[in-house]
A and B are shown apart, each in its own frame.
Chain A
Amino acid sequence: MRKKFVYFVLIPAVVVCLAVYLFIDTWVRLGLEAGGEAAIGAKVEFEGLHVSLSPLGIRWSRLQVADPHDGWRNLFETRDVRFAVNSGQLLRNKYIIQTMEVDELILGTRRTTDGSIKKPSASPAGNDTSGGSTFTEKAEGALGKTVEKSPAAAAGIAALHLNADSLVKALDIHTLRHLDSLKSQVLASSGQWNSTLADFESSKKKLADIETGITSINTSQLTTVPAITGAIATVENSTKGINDISSAFNARKAAIQSDVQKLNASAGLVDDIAGEDFARLKSMAKLPNLSTTGVARLLVGEETVKKATTYLSYIDWARAHIKNSSSKPDYTSPPRMTGQNIAFPLERAYPKFLIEKIRISGGTDTSGGASAIHAKGEIDNVTNDQRVTHLPITATLEGVEGGGRAFHLHAVFDRTKDVPYDEYEASLGGVPVAEVPLGKEDFLSGKMVDAHMSSTVKAVVPGSAFDASAKTTLSGFRISYASEPKGMLEQVIRDVLRDIHDFEVTFRLWNTDGEFKLALATDLDTKIAERATAVLGAEFTKAQNDLKAKLDGAIAGKKAEVMKLVGDRTADVQKQLGAYQSLIGDKLSLADAKKKELTDRLEKEKKAKVNDVLKGIFK
């Protein structure tokens, strides 16, 4: 053997091989930890990692992945994990793993060291997607506004102590203004009516003259036909004069009656306006409407939105890290004459990275703490390019914990088509919840402790759309408050909440038309409303009655005065109109009777004349 070969090739080769053999475990561990930390945004730590060269594979005894949101808790950790790498494909620079065996998957274990990594960006999950377009960012503002719009905002639920007098003084009482206006209208109309009635007085004289003319006709003294006919003509003229007066009277009477109707209608509005004044007075007094929903929303709304945005950040993380390999490649600027190679789907080929199956067996190790969940299940088709495998990543996990909580998760991450599609279905039962913050700083500020939560969630995320619905039941809790109650109402609601130990929250979060919307409903509102109405009923009614009495007192004097004025004036004018109407009717009747009498006399006279003529002929 040549010495040069030994010195320059063989010995260095042996040294390199030795170094690789001795340090490969460390190198691979450091590489995996660095890659994992870059992806998760929190510490990833392997223990007992060993690389075997024949068959080529890796195993480790423990893996801890810290929660990027809570450095003192693990997102998950595993015990023994082992898998073999397809060495044939490795030569083609492809990492193909057929089956990965995971002995235990434990969620939410406590850490002994802080696992957070300080990064420039605040939120480690999902922030490397295109700027400002993550579900979390889109949802945060919209959901915050939704909760702010909560009908039972703290400002609207203040203490139930009232100073009715000062409130009534401060109120701009519309009823009084309306009464003043009504009084002015009555007085103005009354003046017009008086001038109209004065005109009628002059007509009265005419009617009297007409009556005198009619009564002066003595029918028995009229013996000739021309005399009778002349008297009939006189009566007819009188009738026409009466009718003229009647027409003028009727026109003016209609105008007066229209005025009267308007005034009565305006007077009828007084009670309605007074009702509106009372409503505004109640609003000024901040009397709560106990049937209004929203107290529960105020209590749990912020916490629900906080949870929702946390889960949205997980979805963002999935979107950012499970790439849609069929999407259009980014347009780059390569060096001249080199171009950019565009990849198209390959048939019957391996992607760059593939784990066909991760089999997770549950375990009983309780060293992670009582709160840890031991999961079992299967994750399939984990790959960097689903267009090659034509299979979406699927995960089916279920877990239980000694304390009784259990969860089930089924997730699909489909990147086989141009539009990415995610689907999540999860249920979580009997979870002890250490603390749930409640309320706002200025109203019902406190926390719910010792609660147990059960939830079912279903979320579908096709493309940039999102539709999730969830149902959560909180039970067995008690509430501790940060400070003394700030008002009577808060005290009462606290008393009510003391007797409520379970409630249900359902919510739907969707953005199918672009904007995030939140629908939050809970049966707690009904419970609070029922109890609060019972407890507050008497106090509430008394407060309302006080206000009503004060307002009525402020209005009553003027109301009585104006209503009397309206009544008196309208009654008076109606009475006078009636008198004139009957006077005109009397005169018309008199004229008609005289005309009939004269007509009869004329007929009789005509008959007598005819008889005289006939007697002369037949004589």
Chain B
Amino acid sequence: MFYLKFIRDFVNILRAGQTPAQVAGGFALGSILGLSPMLTLQGAIVWLVLLALDVNFSAAGVAMTFFSFFAWLLDPLFHWLGYQILVNAGPLKGLWTYLYNAPVAPLTRFNNTVVMGSFVAALVLFFPVYAGMKHFVVAYRTHIHSRLEQWKVYQVLDRSTMLQWYRRIRDLKG
């Protein structure tokens, strides 16, 4: 029920509740956690930020699930990207060597190709994900939801079993 609660909260939050910025912030931070492998120092820091800031936690959870799937799919790309950054980016070699010898930096596992590739991808995607999600939440609340309700397909589906489930999930009390 833990995930169902997350999904219910997320669907609720899309309609009303926290501000679009809070929802988008949680979703964007969750995307970093979802794209990067677990058990890294930067993962822990992102968790801390997530907990410290007043952002939507459910959106983060959904984003983690959603982007974890993408991370699995895009793993070869992240591996390649990380390899290029760590091995072929000549000017950065000094930095990597310094970090490799630094006391705490190895906890980030930055010298792992997938960790490096996925983290860089997550950072690059952070603002687009944030802006996109914020825009989506605003649009959902103002236009999308009311338009959806007017569609005949929606009205047919509204009576379907699937929607019954959706409502149950939406109205689930934690």
Contact = CB atoms under 8 A, between A and B. Distances in A.
Contacts of A347: 101
A344 B96 contact: yes
Interface string A314-343: 000000000000001101011011111111
Interface string B105-140: 000000111111100000000000000000000000
Contacts, number: 60
B87 A342 contact: yes
A484 B76 CA distance: 71
A340 B113 contact: yes
Contacts of B83: 331, 340, 342
A234 B36 CA distance: 126
A337 B114 contact: yes
A94 B15 CA distance: 60
Contacts of B71: 337
B62 interface: no
B100 A333 contact: no
Contacts of A328: 87-88
Contacts of B111: 341-344
Given A328-B87, A333-B76, A339 B100 contact: no
State which size class the interface on B falls in. 20 to 34
A334 B79 contact: yes
A329 B86 CA distance: 10
A316 B37 CA distance: 41
B82 A339 contact: yes
Interface centre among B72, B78, B87, B116, by most chain A C-beta atoms within 10 angstroms, is: B87
Where chain B touches its partner, the secondary structure class is helix
A340 B112 contact: yes
State which size class the interface on A falls in. 10 to 19
B115 A339 contact: yes
A334 B79 CA distance: 9
B97 interface: yes
Contact of A346 (B80, B100, B117): B100
Contacts of A337: 37, 71-72, 75, 114
Interface in B63-93: 71-72, 75-76, 78-80, 82-83, 86-88, 93
A342 B93 CA distance: 11
A368 interface: no
B78 to A, nearest CB: 8
A340 B78 CA distance: 11
A342 B86 contact: yes
A336 B75 contact: yes
A336 B113 contact: no
A365 B48 CA distance: 72
Contacts of A346: 100-101
Contact of B113 (A342, A343, A344, A345): A342
B37 to A, nearest CB: 6
Contacts of B114: 334, 337-340
A343 B101 CA distance: 11
A339 B75 CA distance: 8
Nearest to A331: B83
A70 B87 CA distance: 42
A344 B75 contact: no
A345 to B, nearest CB: 6
Contacts of B72: 336-337
Given A328-B87, A334-B79, A339 B96 contact: no
A544 to B, nearest CB: 68
Interface string B11-53: 0000000000000000000000000010000000000000000
A329 B84 CA distance: 11
Contacts of A338: 114
Contacts of A345: 97, 100-101
A329 B88 CA distance: 10
A331 to B, nearest CB: 6
Contacts of A342: 83, 86-87, 96, 111-113
A334 B75 CA distance: 10
B113 A339 contact: yes
Nearest to A326: B93
A147 B78 CA distance: 53
Interface in A278-337: 328-329, 331, 333-334, 336-337
A340 B79 contact: yes
Interface centre among A334, A340, A345, by most chain B C-beta atoms within 10 angstroms, is: A340
Nearest to B94: A344
Contacts of B115: 339
Contact of B112 (A329, A331, A333, A339): A339
Contacts of B93: 344
B87 A329 contact: yes
Contacts of A343: 100, 111
A552 to B, nearest CB: 75
Contacts of B75: 336-337
7 contacts: A328-B88, A331-B80, A336-B76, A342-B87, A342-B111, A344-B97, A345-B100
The 3 A-B residue pairs with the shortest CB-CB distance in the complex, in nearest-first order: A339-B114, A344-B100, A339-B112
Interface of B: 37, 71-72, 75-76, 78-80, 82-83, 86-88, 93, 96-97, 100-101, 111-117
Given A334-B113, A337-B75, A346-B100, 14 more contacts: A331-B87, A333-B76, A336-B72, A336-B75, A337-B37, A339-B82, A340-B79, A340-B113, A341-B111, A342-B86, A342-B87, A343-B111, A345-B97, A346-B101
